Amino acid sequence: MEYRITARNSGDAIDMPQKDWVMLMTLAGQDSYLFQPPELISGTEALKIAEALRKALPDLPEKRPDMAAPDPLGTATPESGWDRKSALGHFGGENRVVVEKFIELCEQEGDLEVSRLP
Tens-place pLDDT, residues 4-61: 999 999 999 999 999 899 999 999 999 888 778 899 999 999 999 999 999 999 998 8
| Average pLDDT score over the chain | 85
Task: Report yes or no: 87 and 98 within 8 Å, Cβ to Cβ.
Answer: no
Q: Is 37 left (phi over 0), alpha (psi -120 to 50) or beta?
A: beta
- CA atoms of 117 and 29, how far apart (whole Å): 24
pLDDT confidence of residue 17: 92
pLDDT band at 2 (very low <50, low <70, confident <90, very high): very high
The domain locations on the chain are: 2-117
Supply the pLDDT for residue 56: 93
pLDDT for residue 82 is more than 90: no
Cα torsion 54, 55, 58, 64 to 10°: value is -70
What per-residue confidence (pLDDT) applies to 67? Answer: 53
Please state the pTM of the whole predicted model.
0.83
Check residues 64 and 78 and name the one with the higher pLDDT. 64
